[in-house]
Chain A
Amino acid sequence: MQFVYPRSSDTTLTAVLLWIVLILLNGTAACAETLPQASTLDELIAMFDSSGCKECHKEIYEQWEKSHHSRSLMGIDDQALLPSVLKRIAKPGVPLEQRVTRDFPCFKCHFPQAKYGSDEVAREIAVVSLKKDKATLRKLNIGCLVCHGDKALVHGRPEKGVLYGTKDIPDHEGRPVKKSPLLKNSLLCGQCHGLGPVLDSPDMPVQCATLYGSYLHAYIPSGGTKTCQECHMKGGSHYMPPDFNNRDDLSARLRESLPMEVRTLAYTFHPDGGKFFPMVVVKTKITSRAGHRIPDG
């Protein structure tokens, strides 16, 4: 057996080629990880505009339009959520409207598509929030393309131009639909209706939603078997109650989830030698039919 060593010039050429290949591969990997960036808020809104879905999925779209997901940066009675956050993250010498995306830990769940926008988009959102421009704030939402896109997969990244649903629909108008393993799974909701503290931002560590943690650590260990969707998306409804703006509906929902029993006893109490006094004992029992602690979010 004879080993043939490459000549010096061959070695150099091989090394150069190898470097070129490595650089190209590295570039490809970097491109695969690079998210498309909208440079303006209008551009980002257009990227995630779900209004086209309404044409064929009118009923579902109208249910969603009434839900809190359709106004995820607005709270009870359409109160803008961000002004209080902006005050909280204020830095001396930096105008509030100069905030950048990473300053808003709330975006992670309240406007997850913000990761597809530049810092300029974050600044525009800050301005819109400070002006309490509700018409624009309403366009910043958890629309169809959020849950049927990024949120529909946790194992790997969603494919470009693909929607995710409960089954494969290759000839779906507009974009093909692939089956997501998550859409009927509580983990879909758990991605945002969270586990506990969110420590992503050192300027604003928060503990917004803890509901999924309660589901995992209280409901499931106690023998619960239902998914979030079974109670909050009955019949596939995208209204997804509770709706805090529909006061009667929320009261009725809580009444059903939390039956309360009251028992009373009136008697003359005789605790000691010559002591007698009238007493009423009131016993209350509240049972929960929910899959998580109440209250939670």
Chain B
Amino acid sequence: MTAKSPDGKKIFQTSRIYASQATDSRSTQMVLGPENKLGFIRDTSIQPFAPKEDTIEVPLPEDLRDALIEVSLSYRPRPGNVYPIHYVKRKVSLDQ
């Protein structure tokens, strides 16, 4: 998720990783790739029948009344290999 000022300057960025996470069961270091994984230690993947909800608070600079919010969801089976899923762009304003 990225927040930008009306002139396009990035003012906030954060991300979430939804995935099962494994080590090789010989240390506490997470590993990638099926040939290395052995035992999940954490699972933040998206589960069936269990919506994944997140709330992100974005404090804006004091002089800013408008912002552009971009939310994207993508699938990355391997580092650098990205399959885009969703991209949502919203203009938000504190002025009514």
A residues adjacent to B (C-beta < 8 A):
76, 84-85, 88, 106, 197, 204-210, 214, 218-219, 222-224, 244, 247, 250-251, 254-255, 258, 260, 262, 264-269, 277-288, 290-297
In the complex, the answer to whether B60 meets A219 with C-beta atoms within 8 Å is no
B8 at interface by CB-CB < 8 Å: no
**In the complex, what distance in Å separates the CA atom of A208 from the CA atom of B35?**
7
Chain B: minimal CB distance from A91 (Å) = 16
**In the complex, what distance in Å separates the CA atom of A58 from the CA atom of B88?**
42
In the complex, the answer to whether A292 meets B37 with C-beta atoms within 8 Å is no
In the complex, the answer to whether B94 meets A278 with C-beta atoms within 8 Å is yes
In the complex, the answer to whether B39 meets A207 with C-beta atoms within 8 Å is yes
Interface size range of chain B in the complex: 35 or more
In the complex, the answer to whether B58 meets A288 with C-beta atoms within 8 Å is no
In the complex, the answer to whether A280 meets B51 with C-beta atoms within 8 Å is no
List CB contacts (< 8 Å) of B1-38 with chain A: 1, 3, 18-20, 22, 25, 33-38
Chain A contact residues: helix, strand, loop or mixed: mixed
In the complex, the answer to whether A88 meets B35 with C-beta atoms within 8 Å is yes
Which of A85, A210, A224 is within 8 Å of B49, CB to CB?
A224
Which of A208, A285, A294 is within 8 Å of B51, CB to CB?
A285
Residue among B39, B40, B77 with the most chain A CB within 10 A?
A: B77
Taking A218-B48, A262-B88 as contacts, is the C-beta distance between A281 and B20 under 8 angstroms? no
Question: A283: which B residues are within 8 A, CB to CB?
Answer: 53-56
List CB contacts (< 8 Å) of B41-96 with chain A: 43, 45-62, 64-65, 67, 69, 71, 73, 75, 77-78, 81, 83-86, 88, 90, 92-94
B residues adjacent to A (C-beta < 8 A):
1, 3, 18-20, 22, 25, 33-40, 43, 45-62, 64-65, 67, 69, 71, 73, 75, 77-78, 81, 83-86, 88, 90, 92-94
CB nearest neighbor in B for A259 = B86
**In the complex, what distance in Å separates the CA atom of A106 from the CA atom of B35?**
9
Taking A224-B48, A287-B51 as contacts, is the C-beta distance between A280 and B34 under 8 angstroms? no
Taking A205-B38, A207-B38, A280-B58 as contacts, is the C-beta distance between A293 and B92 under 8 angstroms? no
Question: B73: which A residues are within 8 A, CB to CB?
Answer: 258, 260, 286
**In the complex, what distance in Å separates the CA atom of A76 from the CA atom of B82?**
12
Question: A244: which B residues are within 8 A, CB to CB?
Answer: 77
Taking A222-B48, A286-B73 as contacts, is the C-beta distance between A84 and B85 under 8 angstroms? no
Chain B: minimal CB distance from A266 (Å) = 4
CB nearest neighbor in B for A255 = B85
In the complex, the answer to whether A266 meets B88 with C-beta atoms within 8 Å is no
Chain B: minimal CB distance from A272 (Å) = 13
**In the complex, what distance in Å separates the CA atom of A84 from the CA atom of B32?**
13
Question: B1: which A residues are within 8 A, CB to CB?
Answer: 282, 284
In the complex, the answer to whether A279 meets B35 with C-beta atoms within 8 Å is no
Q: Given contacts A254-B75, A279-B59, A288-B48, could you give 7 more A-B pairs where the C-beta distance is less than 8 Å?
A: A219-B49, A258-B73, A262-B71, A277-B59, A284-B1, A288-B46, A294-B46
Which of B34, B56, B84 is within 8 Å of A208, CB to CB?
B34
**In the complex, what distance in Å separates the CA atom of A282 from the CA atom of B52?**
14
Chain B: minimal CB distance from A134 (Å) = 19
